[in-house]
């Protein structure tokens, strides 16, 4: 019999679970502590639960952990982990150590519906939403979990297309019964989904990153088809109603493509459309993907772009490129693994 996972259940769900099993109400908090604070791997390790109650849990439930099936390490210390979701489904999590920071980039879906021109995950198409258990497992089962300082939802998938499970995961990560992380240590990235964008802003205090990549709607729609359904200007209008100065940070992610969006015309337009919003722009070097006519701009061009933004009042940074030798770009390793598993 397939057992249901405990990892990924909120305190409210654990309270319902113990009530249904006729266990004392206080055991819900005990189970949450074992799962999220002590990070145990089996129900039998929950030693302050009676043998009878552990047996009740074991009959229908398991902690619900699975180790990575593969990992590759870059010369710069970045490690990409591959997790199996189903026989032919894989997702990636990327561990990025950097001085006193250690960031984990997690996935929220198997594949993606967004079909961004520059993203390998988009070429996979959409296969499945990840459950809170499967998202948290990327964190909980990480060998370096105790070193983590930050988590970013910038891996495979569009978080706003799986918002119920993403919000549930964020609740467990930030709640006192869960991992007790500050929302300021977590960033959720999105291309912008009309139906769920406002809901995320209202229900979460985590940092928000908008993938923009062009300030011009016609060009952005070529790079990112989601622009046709929910334009960047619509998102910016919504964002003006929210205060990002204290509770959380707002950033715009901008991959700089050679000869596509790297001239100062684009920098000027970014300054124009983002004027008055408390935000930053993260400029990103492009990780090349197979069979793409896109190429990354050179560093001199990127730095000139940054300097223009900064000199005109728009705070900008250049994100260091990490893990290029291990297919760290989103979707690269999982695509290879998916294709190889089909050939076996």
| Catalytic residue annotation | 92, 330
Please give the DSSP secondary-structure letter assigned to residue 37: I
Judge contact between 191 and 211, C-beta under 8 A: yes
Query: What is the chain's Cα-based Rg?
Result: 21
Nearest to 277 by CA among 233, 229, 221, 219: 233
Judge contact between 92 and 331, C-beta under 8 A: yes
Identify the three-state secondary structure at position 94.
strand
Nearest to 253 by CA among 292, 218, 224: 224
Residue 294: partners with Cβ closer than 8 Å, 6 or more residues away: 117, 118, 257, 258, 260, 286, 288
Judge contact between 68 and 82, C-beta under 8 A: yes
- Strands (DSSP E) contained in the chain are 4-5, 61-62, 70-73, 79-86, 89-98, 101-105, 109-111, 126-129, 150-153, 186-190, 207-211, 250-256, 280-285, 316-319
**What distance lies between CA 77 and its chain's CA centroid?**
20
Instruction: Provide φ and ψ at 33, rounded to 5°.
Output: -65, -45
Tokens of 255: 């991959």
Rounded CA-CA distance 78/37 in Å is 26
Tokens of 229: 């359904």
Nearest to 140 by CA among 58, 45, 64: 64
């Amino acid at each position: 019999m397939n057992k249901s996972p405990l990892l990924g259940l909120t305190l409210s769900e654990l309270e319902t679970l113990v009530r249904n099993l006729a266990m004392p109400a206080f055991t819900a908090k005990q189970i949450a502590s074992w799962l999220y604070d002590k990070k145990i791997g089996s129900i039998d390790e929950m030693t302050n639960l009676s043998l009878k109650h552990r047996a009740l849990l074991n009959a229908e439930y398991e902690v619900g952990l699975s180790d990575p099936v593969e990992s590759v390490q870059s010369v710069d210390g970045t490690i990409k982990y591959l997790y199996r979701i189903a026989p032919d489904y894989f997702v990636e999590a990327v561990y990025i150590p950097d001085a006193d920071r250690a960031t984990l980039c997690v996935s929220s879906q198997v594949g993606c519906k967004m079909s961004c021109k520059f993203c390998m995950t988009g070429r996979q198409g959409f296969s499945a939403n990840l459950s809170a258990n499967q998202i948290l497992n990327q964190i909980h089962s990480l060998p370096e979990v105790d070193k983590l300082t930050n988590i970013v939802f910038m891996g495979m998938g569009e978080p706003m297309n799986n918002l119920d499970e993403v919000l549930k995961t964020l609740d467990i990560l930030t709640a006192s019964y869960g991992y007790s992380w500050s929302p300021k240590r977590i960033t959720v990235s999105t291309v912008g989904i009309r139906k769920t964008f406002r809901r995320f802003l209202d229900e979460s205090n985590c940092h928000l990153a908008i993938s923009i990549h062009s300030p011009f709607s016609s060009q952005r729609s070529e790079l990112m088809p989601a622009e046709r359904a929910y334009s960047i200007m619509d998102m910016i209008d919504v964002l003006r109603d929210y205060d990002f100065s204290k509770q959380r940070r707002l950033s715009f992610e901008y991959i700089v493509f050679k000869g596509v969006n790297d001239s100062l015309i684009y920098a000027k337009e970014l300054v124009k459309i983002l004027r008055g919003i408390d935000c930053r722009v993260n400029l990103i070097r492009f990780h090349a993907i197979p069979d793409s006519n896109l190429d990354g701009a050179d560093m001199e061009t990127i730095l000139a772009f940054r300097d223009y933004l900064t000199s005109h009042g728009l705070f900008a940074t250049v994100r260091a490129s990490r893990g290029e030798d291990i297919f760290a770009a989103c979707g690269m390793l999982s695509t290879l693994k998916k294709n190889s598993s089909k050939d076996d």
